[in-house]
């Protein structure tokens, strides 16, 4: 009897052993699939975050505009947006649509296509003072020492902060339309000269 019991126990152990060994083989496969899926999602999310963080965005103004037609008035919204990477690159653009989000989206696309580069000193300021003009608007920009900050109004502050300027003084004269201020500031920033540019202009090496 004892021998029969031992044989039965050995048979049951032999039958249970393959089943116990088969289970752990399936679990790692399922776990690996989950890990692979998580890695793919993380990669996709990382790419999206990089694209989003490439440029900082700021909405300067949103206006409601009307167009009178034969059937009545058509209401739309226009948006003015400034983008920049904080390292000397900036851009601005406008967009118009029937809804505010669509107008902002159009303005962002236009701004990213309209990018410019400026030279910023080690102190985070401009190389020299300049006056930018556009239409009836004039913007005075002056370099400032470390710790001054950005002394500027809304549109001028937006474009200077996103461009990466940390210390500057400014004053707006004439027209106060946001788009005119942005264009005058842009004209002034693009008129800046570096030390090497001045040397080449004077014919010295």
Question: pLDDT tens-digit profile of 115-139?
Answer: 999 988 888 899 889 999 999 999 9
Per-residue pLDDT at 6: 46
pLDDT for residue 61 is more than 50:
yes
Of 23-27, 100-104, 182-186, the poorest mean pLDDT is in 23-27
**Residue range 99-111: mean pLDDT, rounded:** 93
Could you give the CA distance from residue 135 to residue 200 in angstroms, rounded to a whole number? 31
| 56-69 sheet: strands from edge to edge | 56-69, 72-84, 89-97, 115-117
Per-residue pLDDT at 193: 85
Per-residue pLDDT at 7: 52
């Amino acid at each position: 009897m004892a021998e029969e019991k031992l044989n039965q126990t050995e048979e049951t152990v032999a039958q249970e052993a393959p089943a116990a060994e088969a289970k752990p083989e399936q679990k790692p496969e399922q776990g690996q699939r989950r890990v692979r899926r998580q890695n793919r999602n993380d990669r996709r999310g990382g790419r999206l975050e990089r694209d989003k963080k490439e440029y900082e965005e700021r909405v300067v103004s949103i206006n409601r505009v009307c167009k009178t037609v034969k059937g009545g008035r058509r209401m739309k919204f226009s948006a003015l947006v400034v983008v920049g990477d904080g390292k000397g690159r900036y851009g601005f653009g406008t967009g118009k649509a029937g809804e505010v989000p669509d107008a902002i989206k159009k303005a962002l696309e236009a701004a990213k296509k309209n990018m410019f580069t400026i030279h910023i000193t080690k102190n985070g300021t401009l190389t020299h003072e300049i006056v930018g003009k556009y239409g009836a608007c004039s913007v005075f920009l002056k370099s400032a020492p470390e710790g001054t900050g950005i002394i500027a109004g809304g549109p001028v502050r937006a474009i200077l902060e996103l461009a990466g300027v940390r210390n500057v003084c400014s004053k707006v004269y004439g027209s106060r339309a946001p788009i005119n201020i942005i264009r005058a500031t842009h004209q002034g920033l693009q008129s800046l000269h570096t030390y090497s540019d001045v040397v080449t202009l004077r014919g010295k090496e």
